[in-house]
Amino acid sequence: MNIADKSVASIHYTLKNDEGEVLDSSEGQAPLDYIQGLGNIIPGLENALAGKAAGDKVQVVVEAADGYGEYNAEMVQELPRTMFQGVDTIEVGMAFQAQTPAGMQVVEVIEVDDETVTIDGNHQLAGQRLHFDVEVVGVRAASDDELAHGHVHAEGGCGHDH
């Protein structure tokens, strides 16, 4: 069976940046399972895996626009520290959920001083070209439940109701 819309693909992957540094990998872990065509993974990788079958090995370069998007300087904001009432310690690298016009979004603290906290709503990999080494481990049809929920279920379901 080949990877097509509404199929579950199981892949092992290693993600590197332009400098060849490993940013993420499934090595030593269970493969990543996703449903093709539902946007479970970034578009550039999903498009490159369409039509592949178990045993296929591919190298994919994904430009930022087809990955986590271009870096957007407008997503960096300096906020008054008073907006973080109830948080005793604010440190660089902390993540918060913020309500934005686009919905809930995770923002990362990138700078802190006595008066202000600077946050960045860009994904950590925004603006980067991504290099994937992928091995397709398996392909199967998605169940009706998985399609209704929009994600792959482990044995015994996903543990929540929709």
pLDDT by residue, tens only, the chain of 162 residues: 999 999 999 999 999 999 999 999 999 999 999 999 999 999 999 999 999 999 999 999 999 999 999 999 999 999 999 998 888 899 999 999 887 777 788 899 999 999 999 999 999 999 999 999 999 999 999 999 999 999 998 754 555 554
pTM of the model: 0.81
Residue ranges, comma separated, of all CATH 3.10.50.40 domains in the chain are 7-68+125-149
Question: What is the assigned CATH class of domain 7-68+125-149?
Answer: alpha beta
Residue ranges, comma separated, of all CATH 2.40.10.330 domains in the chain are 73-120
- Residue 61: C-alpha distances to residues 26, 124, 128, 151, 157 (Å): 18, 18, 11, 25, 34
Question: What is the assigned CATH class of domain 73-120?
Answer: mainly beta
